[in-house]
Amino acid sequence: MKLDLQSKSFGTRPVLGDLVLSVSPGERLAILGPSGIGKSTLLRILAGLDTNFRGNRSGSERLAPVFQEPVLLPWRNALANVTIPTGCPPGVAREWMARVGLAGHETKFPRQLSLGQQRRLSLARAFASDPQILLMDEPFASLDAETASRMIALTADLLDRTGAGLVIVTHDPAEAEALSARSVTLSGTPARLQKD
């Protein structure tokens, strides 16, 4: 996937400036930078969710976005939360749930799961779609330190197993390091990339 961005504005306000970013399947990239600089905006453009920018995005990799909030279907059980959005067979969904430590929770509803479990369910859902690149927006924010570090280790392990690539938006350089991700930092107004 390659993004050749000239600019991205909200109304008349330019948020992102000239920048080039490319990620291939198997590669891990962390986008760092202070709050409000434009990290989520850049990730949405990379994900193809925002096409209102000047520049060019190319690539036909299968992508799976993982947002900060798990965004689950409240009236469907955990297993259906994996099968419905991905179209994967129930057996595959069960396997992914087991890999993230949710075996035995298949018939629970999202509200019956802790935030950490909901996050793991959204990770299982992302991997069940057999992505070539995962796009994660602050997926470990607002978890306690121990849960966050377990989630990071789990994510790294699943990326290793599947060979999927990763683009992660984070405030925390330690997260990038724990995931063995190359990092780039957004800075300035409008924001541009500075290589770390």
Ligand X SMILES: Nc1ncnc2c1ncn2[C@@H]1O[C@H](COP(=O)(O)OP(=O)(O)OP(=O)(O)O)[C@@H](O)[C@H]1O
By the 8 A CB rule, do 7 and 52 touch? no
Residues interacting with ligand X, by CB under 6 A? 10, 15, 33, 35-41
Taking the least distance from each CB to ligand X, the nearer of 46 and 124 is 46
CA atoms within 13 A on the CB side of 74: 1
Closest CA to 186 of 17, 9, 7: 17
- For the CB of residue 167, give the shortest distance to ligand X in the complex, in Å: 13
CA dist., res. 154 & res. 32, Å (int): 21
- For the CB of residue 21, give the shortest distance to ligand X in the complex, in Å: 14
Taking the least distance from each CB to ligand X, the nearer of 107 and 187 is 187
By the 8 A CB rule, do 80 and 72 touch? no
- For the CB of residue 19, give the shortest distance to ligand X in the complex, in Å: 13
Taking the least distance from each CB to ligand X, the nearer of 108 and 171 is 171
